[in-house]
Amino acid sequence: MVIAATGTGKTYMSAFDVKNYKPKKLLFVVHREEILKKALETFKFLLPNENITFGLLTGNTKDKNADYIFSTIQTLSRCYHEFGKEEFEYIIYDEAHHTTSPSYQIVMNYFIPKFMLGMTATPERSDNMNVFDLFNNNVAIEVRLHEALEENLIIPFHYFGITDIEGIDLSDVDIDDIAEITKRLNVNKRVDFIIERMNFYSHDGDKRKCLGFCASIEHAKYMADEFTKRGYPSVYLHGEHSPDERTYFINRLEDDKDELQVIFSVDIFNEGVDIPSINTVLMLRPTSSPIVFIQQLGRGLRKHESKSFLTVLDFIGNHSKVFLIAIALNGSRYYDKESLKVAVSTGFANMPGATHIQMDEISKERILEQIDRENFNSLKYLREEYFEFKKMNQRKIPYLLMDYLKYDGAPDPVKFINREKTYLHFLAKTEKKEGIKKLLLNDAFERTLKDLSARLPLKRIYEFVILKILLEQHEITMKEAKSEILKHVEKVDDDSIRHAFEVLNQDYCDRGQINRGAKLLEIKNGKVSRTEMFYLVLQHDQYRKYIKDVIHYGIFRYEKEFKRDYYGVPHFKLYEQYQMMDVALLSNYRKVHSSFRGSGLLTNGNEYFLFIDLHKEANIKESINYKDKFIDRRYFQWQTPNSTAQSSERGQSIIFNQVRGIHLHLFARKYREIDGKTEPYIYIGKGNTVHYEGEKPITVKLELEHEIPANLYTEFTQMV
């Protein structure tokens, strides 16, 4: 399965893979006919002179004897049995989020291809089935907005956050009260203001081709009428319009000679509709979800010869959820209050490429105030985030962690786990469903789920790959484990696999962890097998489903964040987040891991780990730690623990670290705690002592092996 933002060239990617694979017969299946012809043209263009015949299978055209057939699901579901089950070596399902529907299921259950590829921008479920399961939870590529910008797959955008006109007050309106929001937004004065700003910021290209996102049908109709009256020919489209009507107006908008300039819409252009030449997007409704914001933004980001960037005008009111814009633009699913504030105040300097983000001062202040007031770790906030996501999920309960991989801008479910120990506990508390509560009454299942959930997000994949094998078989050898791990990473050393076995065997747990946790495997005669408890838990279909989900989610997210790279031992990735106990695991520490906390300096052989808090308190502005600080992006000043003398063994190892072969690993965080939650450290690489002075403690000047990136340096040092 491939998940990639709209406009990133999924069809091209699939065509290149087909060119490489060279199947004798190919089937390309789509949901809508207008996509089909474009896909066929792309394949013809990329596969010339290959002696391949191409054909369409639609309501009107029946090229059933072609080598490469491009079909709509509607037609295929009526005539699939006319083909042999193994006739097509390679089958592609475009817009794969539809594949859970009955018509797709009939077709998918019939054909047996050698290779099957699903492609989607938003792999949401349209019913209770899981799209990921249909593709063996094997996500080959995932390209989200930030990555697409970084890789130059889409065009940059110029975003302007504009404070809405005075007189429009949304501060006391529920964001779901569409009728009231519509009433307050349908103001003539606001239309004039929008047009004035639209002309001021202009657009790239000869003709304005604009999409305006509205709060309701009534709002869209009002905007289209008012724009047209003022000399800006516009129409409105919504879910009730037929595909033919939509296509007609989209073609008119794309036609440089046609006078139509703006289509105002409600929701229908959030996903799945392709208008490559759009050069302006107007956000005219309050943002209620980062997911919707990114989908709407994505409508105009496809590359097209008529434009080099997209203009986005966001009219920001005073409603209570304005700060969600910052979460959407920040682009990181894993954020905290401080990093968000720095992103807003620096104009989102971490945005890749030539993208430009500018907010006026009033909007900026409004957002910063809301971020300050909000507690991102409170149950109230997490529940709101959950229910907003559920709304995007067609109001169906997202039972699985894998569900959260469906949308760019989705919340991080690990936050729900941190709050309640497992995602199911969070669901039970939030949804108040008896069925979920009942599942958790089984002690062995609950302990297993807690044990696995506590390991998320994974910083090392080995343990979960071993457990993934043990879902299907009773025991595993070292050799089998290595072979399976190498499917996920480019290299692994034997000692780390041995250490992973020992970790799962609870060798390094303290008494409390052993009592609370779950022993899932045991080591006997060099072999590793499931414990009786783990075996019995897996016999129960529901328990198995949720355990499998945690394991698949852990592996998928690890691959997304760490790719196939080998980081050696200790196993650290630059600028990744770590807790102290992670460091014990990743350095193959062979004593109780929970002892690895509480001190600013911890050691494992020649590996020295420096844990540094740069500021004292998040809520005190003058809270800089003057002892441990960045001198600049290359040098760092650090003070040893108070008892360290220059003449001591440890003192000598720190002062002459290079001569003695001592590696000094630096982990820094801005604050120890934000909103009542302990913050992780960020690994900034190794440093070498270039100067030292003082006694008990010694003040050391370290030269970093890697100059810290500008945006991270700003985040560490800037106070907002």
Which DSSP string corresponds to 414-445?
A: HHHHHHHSSHHHHHHHHH--HHHHHHTT-HHH
Give whole-number Cα distances, 293 to 158, 305, 307, 310, in Å: 15, 25, 22, 15
DSSP string, 649-693: HHHHHHHTTTTTT-EEEEEEES-SEETTEEPPEEEEEEEEEEEEE
Do 261 and 366 reside in the same domain of the chain?
yes
Is 53's pLDDT higher than 60? Answer: yes
Compute the distance between CA of residue 163 and CA of residue 166 in angstroms, rounded to an integer. 9
Compute the distance between CA of residue 364 and CA of residue 322 in angstroms, rounded to an integer. 10
pLDDT confidence bin for 167, thresholds 50/70/90 = confident
Q: What is the DSSP letter of 85?
A: T
Contacts 24+ apart (CB under 8 A), 401-404: 401/549, 401/550, 401/553, 402/130, 402/132, 402/137, 402/549, 402/552, 402/553, 402/556, 403/125, 403/130
pLDDT confidence bin for 87, thresholds 50/70/90 = very high
Look at residue 501 and give its three-state secondary structure. helix
Check: CB of residue 354 under 8 Å from CB of residue 156. Answer: yes
143, 171, 186 - which closes a domain = 143
Do 549 and 460 reside in the same domain of the chain?
yes
541, 566, 591 - which closes a domain = 566
Mean pLDDT on 187-204: 94
| Distant-in-sequence, close-in-space partners of 619: CB < 8 Å, separation ≥ 6 | none
Compute the distance between CA of residue 99 and CA of residue 589 in angstroms, rounded to an integer. 46
pLDDT of residue 123: 62
pLDDT of residue 620: 53
Count up the domains in the chain and report the number: 5
Mean pLDDT on 313-320: 88
Do 129 and 202 reside in the same domain of the chain?
no
Going by C-alpha positions, the residue among 559, 565, 608 that lies closest to residue 583 is 608
Mean pLDDT of the chain, nearest integer: 89
Do 226 and 328 reside in the same domain of the chain?
yes
Residue 421 tokens, joined? 């120990």
pLDDT of residue 403: 86
Residue 240 tokens, joined? 């009730």
Between 94-98, 112-116, 354-358, the lowest mean confidence (pLDDT) is in 94-98
pLDDT of residue 121: 75
226 falls within a domain: yes
Pairing of strands 475-476, 527-530: antiparallel
Q: Cβ-count burial of 358 within 10 angstroms (0-12 exposed, 13-18 middle, 19+ buried)?
A: middle
382 falls within a domain: yes
572 falls within a domain: no
Look at residue 697 and give its three-state secondary structure. coil
Residue 504 tokens, joined? 């799962």
Mean pLDDT on 64-82: 92
Do 277 and 162 reside in the same domain of the chain?
yes
**Which letter, b or e, does each residue of 517-553 get, where b requires 16 or more Cβ atoms within 10 Å of its Cβ?**
bbbbbbeeeeebbbbebbeebbeeeebeebbbbbbbb
Residue 142 tokens, joined? 């995932």
Going by C-alpha positions, the residue among 390, 389, 337 that lies closest to residue 367 is 337
Between 64-73, 349-358, 366-375, 653-662, the lowest mean confidence (pLDDT) is in 349-358
417 falls within a domain: yes
Give whole-number Cα distances, 361 to 161, 268, 365, in Å: 9, 32, 6
pLDDT digits (tens, 9 = 90+) for 136-151: 777 777 777 888 888 7
Residue 380: other Cβ atoms inside 10 A:
9
Do 381 and 368 reside in the same domain of the chain?
no
Do 261 and 163 reside in the same domain of the chain?
yes
Compute the distance between CA of residue 201 and CA of residue 283 in angstroms, rounded to an integer. 14
pLDDT confidence bin for 126, thresholds 50/70/90 = very low
Find the domain containing 639 and state its range.
577-717
566, 595, 618 - which closes a domain = 566
Pairing of strands 677-678, 635-639: unpaired
Q: Cβ-count burial of 643 within 10 angstroms (0-12 exposed, 13-18 middle, 19+ buried)?
A: exposed
Compute the distance between CA of residue 694 and CA of residue 646 in angstroms, rounded to an integer. 8
E strand or H helix at 490: none
Q: What is the CATH number of the domain that holds 688?
A: 2.30.280
pLDDT of residue 618: 56
Is 42's pLDDT higher than 70? Answer: yes
Check: CB of residue 689 under 8 Å from CB of residue 702. Answer: yes
295 falls within a domain: yes
What is the residue type of 432?
K
36 falls within a domain: yes
pLDDT digits (tens, 9 = 90+) for 448-476: 999 999 999 999 999 999 999 999 999 99
571 falls within a domain: no
Check: CB of residue 143 under 8 Å from CB of residue 8. Answer: yes
Is 243's pLDDT higher than 80? Answer: no
Residue 451 tokens, joined? 């044990």
pLDDT of residue 454: 95
pLDDT of residue 463: 97
Do 554 and 607 reside in the same domain of the chain?
no
pLDDT confidence bin for 334, thresholds 50/70/90 = low
Between 1-15, 125-139, 147-161, the lowest mean confidence (pLDDT) is in 125-139
Number of H helices, E strands in the chain: 28, 27
More confident residue, 116 or 96: 116
E strand or H helix at 708: none
pTM: 0.81
The 3-state secondary structure of 12-78, one letter per residue: HHHHHHHHHHCCCCEEEEECCHHHHHHHHHHHHHHCCCCCCCEEEECCCCECCCCCEEEEEHHHHHH
pLDDT confidence bin for 333, thresholds 50/70/90 = low
Length of the chain: 720
Q: Is 253 left (phi over 0), alpha (psi -120 to 50) or beta?
A: alpha
Is 443's pLDDT higher than 70? Answer: yes
Do 520 and 659 reside in the same domain of the chain?
no
Between 142-146, 547-551, 576-580, the lowest mean confidence (pLDDT) is in 142-146
**Sheet of 475-476, strand order:** 475-476, 527-530, 521-524
Is 127's pLDDT higher than 50? Answer: no
pLDDT of residue 609: 97
Check: CB of residue 187 under 8 Å from CB of residue 168. Answer: yes
Pairing of strands 521-524, 527-530: antiparallel
pLDDT digits (tens, 9 = 90+) for 514-545: 988 899 999 887 678 999 999 999 999 999 99
Compute the distance between CA of residue 60 and CA of residue 63 in angstroms, rounded to an integer. 10
CA atoms within 13 A on the CB side of 240: 3
11 falls within a domain: yes
Do 79 and 122 reside in the same domain of the chain?
yes
Compute the distance between CA of residue 468 and CA of residue 555 in angstroms, rounded to an integer. 9
Do 451 and 553 reside in the same domain of the chain?
yes
Q: What is the CATH number of the domain that holds 94?
A: 3.40.50.300
pLDDT of residue 6: 67
Do 344 and 266 reside in the same domain of the chain?
yes
More confident residue, 717 or 587: 587
Going by C-alpha positions, the residue among 339, 257, 294, 310 that lies closest to residue 146 is 294
Name the CA dihedral angle for 478, 483, 486, 487, rounded to a multiple of 10 degrees.
Answer: -140
Check: CB of residue 578 under 8 Å from CB of residue 681. Answer: yes
pLDDT of residue 38: 83
